[in-house]
Structure 1
Amino acid sequence: SQFIFLAFLGFRILSWDDVRGIYRAPWRSAFDKAAREYKFPLFDIPATLGSYAINNLPAILVGSLFGPAFAGYLGVATRLVTGPIVLIATPLSNVFVAEANKSSDRGHMLGVARGLLILVTGLTALPILALGLAAPYLVVPLLGQAWIPTAHIMTALAFMGAAQALSTPLSEVPTLLRRQEVRLVVDAARMVLVFGPLLVGAKMGWEAIDVIYLMAIGGMVGFAIKTAASLYLLKRDTEPAQATLSSPYSIARKQHDEAPVE
């Protein structure tokens, strides 16, 4: 279906002149450009694989360590907690990318980032926290007493979900600023913070819900690091300009140059 959709778009958008232009393109310059942009495949591919692992492997590991029933509880709880992120926070990341394409000014991008963080806090992060805290009172009446583990898992995942909601609008900052190595380091740290408590807790024989709480705390810290790294990259190049403007020597020199001649 995807192939048919892409073929339809290509048929409607591209003309034969466009196809001939692609065929006659200077391939050497294209290869040179690809060589200059080596960071994208070198760092982005491992980082993307790490993100997929963080999103998909915990349920599989929980199923193998604590049984398929608990994996099912975790899957349902994850869907309920991350629903607001998919509906609200993810589209806001597209807003940031669009604004970044309009202007490469770091000050403007930082202002947009702060505005999106405030917006996503009210629309997504706080509702996720409220949903997690109210889960024990909502799940049982809606799904029955047998689903009470799902309510407890939702409470555990709520704080990680709130942190994920805050990080989602700024998730493309390292790529936009061509700092893919930062994304790789952050995702590697997130993998350690998520899978470390899960494996250690299972090895120590802890209860499944306690292991989920530890994994959620690690995930929350990982998303906080991701948000902090994005804000640091945006703010790093704006601070020197502000420091230059506030330099006493510069101000004194400006006043001397602008002094009226008597």
Structure 2
Amino acid sequence: MLCARIVRGATALALAGGVNAAAAGCGAPAWGAVAGLEHSQWQEYAADGSRLLRERGDLALAGLQFDIECEGLQWSAQWLRSQGERSYDGRTNAGVPFQSQTRVRLERLQLQAWWPLQPSWALGARLRQQTLEREIAGRGAVLGYPERYRYWQASIGLRHRQVLASHLDWHVALWLGAGPKGSVRVELPGYDPAVLDLGRSRVLSLELGLQGGARAEQTGWTWNALLAYGREATSAGPNTLLTRLGRPVGASARQPRFAQQQWQFRAGAAYRF
């Protein structure tokens, strides 16, 4: 129910905002790039709540961004990629402790908008699609395997913004959201590739940002710096029958409940044309 309400609300806001923006005069659009570092953590849990595994590591982050303001309505689109390795600490199917490395590549594509409520407060909506490639390295007799996750989420946000100088301001923002069931494609050793359903997800993020340079009605360079914390929780999916050479083999797999945490620091520069 919460997910459905958020999706309907975000869609309505986006449609209304798009109509208003199309009919309104807009400021100078800004195109830019961002780069930074992401500290990433991934944990999976059994049905009884015990932890199955944990991954931790630092990922390099880079991306592109587009911003435009139309009669106070602030639109932003971003493409971000984080990649690197996380240390893997878990257990084999036999319950033996197992340590390895996981290669990670995460792509986020998101569209967000801010509606001013008062001079220093704004209400936001965000749609985000994520694709995660996760490859667990084998070690000894234990074989590794790749996974590819795809899911999307909708969030609503509240932002407080304060001007520090004529071309400098800071903000703090809180986002809460949810997403429907996604999927993961997994290539388990000895079986055909399988697509497993994920459970629904919930997301929370907190941002602290600093921005300077040309304003929305001006041309020239702008810059920004952002410190962000995010947490995602995804429920377990159903069992899926596994096959070998296209034939059922009497075995099944499912994606257990997992949680992600990220600390991001990124900085960017853009030019308003």
The reply to whether TM is greater than 0.5 is no
The structure carrying a bigger strand percent of its residues is 2
RCO higher in structure (CA 8 A, sep ≥6): 1
Q: What is the TM-score of this pair, normalised by structure 1? A: 0.24
Query: Larger Rg: 1 or 2?
Result: 1
The structure carrying a bigger helix percent of its residues is 1
Q: What is the TM-score of this pair, normalised by structure 2? A: 0.23
